[in-house]
Amino acid sequence: MNKQIRKITLMIIAVLIVASLGFAREISIPDITGSQQQAISVPVNIDDASKIAGFQFTIDYDHSVCEPVDVKARDLTSNWMVAMNVKSAGKVKVIGFNPTLKPLSASEGSLFVLSFRVVANNAESIKLKVSSGKLVDSKGKKLPFSIASKNLDSSYQGNKLTDKDILEVAKGMNLPCSTVGIALILCILLAVLSLTVKFE
């Protein structure tokens, strides 16, 4: 019985979190064209930087077209520490954080900019894909976000939430404080879940 209650509770919390993802921030990367040996800069943008105090992304690129050279902080993260590591041909990992742990405000802009050198013989469009990523707040908690569809790698695993993650996120959610408000939400969700959850 306790296991069933825990399962239902986690499902309720998960539904609330999924509902909140409709307003989640989005990461996007523009396609930029360059010619052989040209150095190009590709910004990684976000439409809502609120609460972000750190990030980590693995970005895939076509190593027959370009090679990463450098990474730099951008307008939103000018006082941050940002670094990259080429994990293997075709993959570059970028991490960044604010040493003061002060989160960013609710604004849009670029988190960082990646510099590449074009190695292809002909002019090519540099198309980057995100294969993994994480945004965290000043307490190290994961923040929900989405990747623009054109930048989403087919192997992307996302920031999958475990039971522990769900409970941690729930603690930071702005749920209604009144008992009536919470009761109404739970009643509605239980009514929906009752259509799919079978009791033994």
Split into its structural domains, the chain has a count of: 1
The whole-angstrom separation of Cα 97 and Cα 22 is 26
Domain extent for 36:
25-159
d(CA 184, CA 167): 20
DSSP string, 81-147: EEEEEEEETTEEEEEEE-TT-PPP-S--EEEEEEEEEE-SSS-EEE--EEEEEEEE-TTS-B--EEE
Is 41 within the bounds of a domain? yes
* Residue at 193 is within a domain: no
- Is there a domain that residue 176 lies in? no
The domain spanning residue 43 has which CATH number? 2.60.40.680
Token pair, residue 49, equals 């930087």
In order along its 200 residues, the chain shows pLDDT tens digits of 566 666 655 565 554 554 444 457 899 999 888 888 889 999 999 999 999 999 999 999 999 999 999 999 998 999 999 999 997 889 999 999 999 989 998 789 999 999 999 998 876 788 899 998 999 999 999 999 998 888 876 565 555 444 444 444 444 444 444 433 444 444 444 444 444 443 33
- pTM given for the model: 0.66
108 within some domain: yes
β pairing state of 145-147 and 25-28: parallel
**Is residue 135 included in any domain, yes or no?**
yes
